[in-house]
Amino acid sequence: MIYKGQNKYAVRYYMKIFFYISIFILPVFAQAQDAKELVRCYFNDVRKDTYPAIPKPLSLPENAKSTLTALQPYWNDTLVDVRSKAYTITHLLPQV
């Protein structure tokens, strides 16, 4: 929609900027959500005494910040096994 006095090229320019910003921001947000969900599922299994292997994506350097954020509630959990696994994953992560 072009309004009186507006250049159609300016509208296209701003649409492109919005598109490129969306492309770069959405994957970061999705990655954080994926780490949070992966941590939640992993610790649900730990609580069920199934003791699954630590998921590989949690220890990748590019996921370090989102994994640390997702782990925070588990560091003070009431179950020793959950706290132990949370600290183990924390030590596997590279320093951020």
Residue 2 maps to a domain = no
SS (H, E, C) 41-80: HHHHHHHCCCCCCCCHHHHCHHHHHHHHHHHHHHCCCCCH
Q: Which domain holds residue 68?
A: 8-92
Residue 1 maps to a domain = no
Tokens 């959990």 correspond to 77
| pLDDT given at position 86 | 95
Residue 49 maps to a domain = yes
**Spacing of C-alpha 68 from chain mean position:** 9
User: Alpha-carbon distance 61 to 31, whole Å?
Assistant: 12
Considering its fold, how many domains does the chain have in total?
1
pTM for the whole structure: 0.63
How do residues 15-54 score in pLDDT, each as one tens digit? Answer: 666 555 555 554 444 444 588 899 999 999 999 988 788 8
